Amino acid sequence: MWTTCTLWDYLCKMSELQDIRDLSYTELEDVLLHMSHPKYRARQVYEWIWKKDVTDFDQMGNVPKVIREELKKRYQIPHVEVEKVQTSSDGTVKFGLRLYDGQMIEAVLIPVERDDRYTVCVSSQVGCSLSCKFCATGTMGRIRNLKAQEILDQYRIVDRHCEDVYGRGLTNVVYMGMGEPLLNYGPVVRSLRLLTDPGVQGISPRRITVSTAGVAKMIMRLADEGLKINLALSLHAADDAKRSEIMAINDSNGLDELRDALYYFYRELRTKISFEYIALRDFNDSDEDAERLAIYARGLPVMVNIIEYNTVDLFHWKGSEEDRLDKFAKILTNEDVLVTIRRSRGKDIDAACGQLALDGHGAG
């Protein structure tokens, strides 16, 4: 058991140590060279910290003790830890995860066994600054950005769970959890590079989707990274006035600007683009709303995902009736727009779209 003094000493020491996963591969090589060790040792250390989930330098079996001791003096390997796991009646699993500084985030596993599709939904920020009017996360404000390794850890934790339960790893990754990924740009791009790096996780970029509330210039910047990932735009209304009512970001990133950015993204990458559209009863689910959406989608190779809204006590919204959703979808189909209706998953554990952050953050 810790005495007050030793715990304090320990915490002081830990706070002085740098997270070794903040270093790029080249920086790690430089550190080892500076310590007068051969460069190839960097590859070994890199594999331990990124592929084998070690939390202690002494677990690095093939790294000489002298190197481990030197690294220990300057670095630590903090990891995201599982605090709570909740499984929904439909198989969706929500992971409450604790970061090294005590902040909490959530990641969700969405298994679809019949399609052999196992998707993890990862968070990119603690909270979110955008305050969309239907989203529990937005009520928290932005607390801090996640580091790339904190995004990778979410993937690794859920991947291991998937292996244990289904005997196979994850097949897809979506950046659709807490936060706006494009407002935490550097770490998110770093996490995408690590996920797709054959020497780290080696996931095909085509199995990764970044979802944004719509930051036009960052969408274009993301296209320039050359990562062949998919993009989802949280659209929710194809009318500027209506969209601004529920998404303040639309005031500075209007629909025309977003469409230009999406064209650019598609021209550069030729990957999948989708519109997420939460159907809110008597707000954005009329025939006219569907027609406007069909016009907006015209010429863009998009798939529209209509999402059933999950009631959140904080807000007055109600989800659309089922026959309204069907009619809405039919109008789009008649206009040759590809459309799916996504029935919500994990509602009973608050893991569905717009519900993250209801536990443990005082947001609901």
Residue closer to ligand SF4 by CB (options 125, 196) is 125
- Least CB distance to ligand SF4 at residue 160 (A): 26
Q: Is 344 in the site for ligand SF4 (CB under 6 A)?
A: no
3-state SS string for the chain: CCCHHHHHHHHHHHHHCEEHHHCCHHHHHHHHHHCCCCCHHHHHHHHHHHHCCCCCHHHCCCCCHHHHHHHHHHEECCCCEEEEEEECCCCCEEEEEECCCCCEEEEEEEEEHHHCEEEEECCCEEEECCCCCCCCHHHHEEEEECCHHHHHHHHHHHHHHHHHHHCCCCCEEEECCCCCHHHCHHHHHHHHHHHHCCCCCCCCHHHEEEEECCCHHHHHHHHHCCCCCEEEEECCCCCHHHHHHHCHHHHCCCHHHHHHHHHHHHHHHCCCEEEEEEEECCCCCCHHHHHHHHHHHCCCCEEEEEEECCCCCCCCCCECCHHHHHHHHHHHHHCCCEEEEECCCCHHHCCCCCCCCCCCCCCC
**Catalytic pick among 132, 135, 162, 353:** 353
Kindly write out the interface string for residues 213-232 of this chain, putting x where it contacts ligand SF4 by CB under 6 A and - elsewhere. Answer: x-------------------
Site for ligand SF4 in 99-128 (CB under 6 A): 128
Options 137, 145, 230, 274; binder of ligand SF4; rule CB under 6 A: 137
Is 128 among the residues known to form the active site? no
| Selected binder of ligand SF4 within 78, 111, 138, 205 (CB under 6 A) | 138
Nearest approach, Cβ of residue 266 and ligand SF4 (Å): 22
Size of the site for ligand SF4 (CB under 6 A): 12
Annotated catalytic residue 353: yes
For ligand SF4, the closer CB: 172 or 234? 234
Q: Which residue among 81, 83, 106, 257 is the active-site one?
A: 106
Q: Which of residues 43-82 bind ligand SF4 (CB under 6 A)?
A: none
Residues with active-site annotation: 106, 353
Residues of the shown chain interacting with ligand SF4 in the complex, contacts defined by CB under 6 A: 128, 130-132, 135, 137-138, 178-180, 213, 234
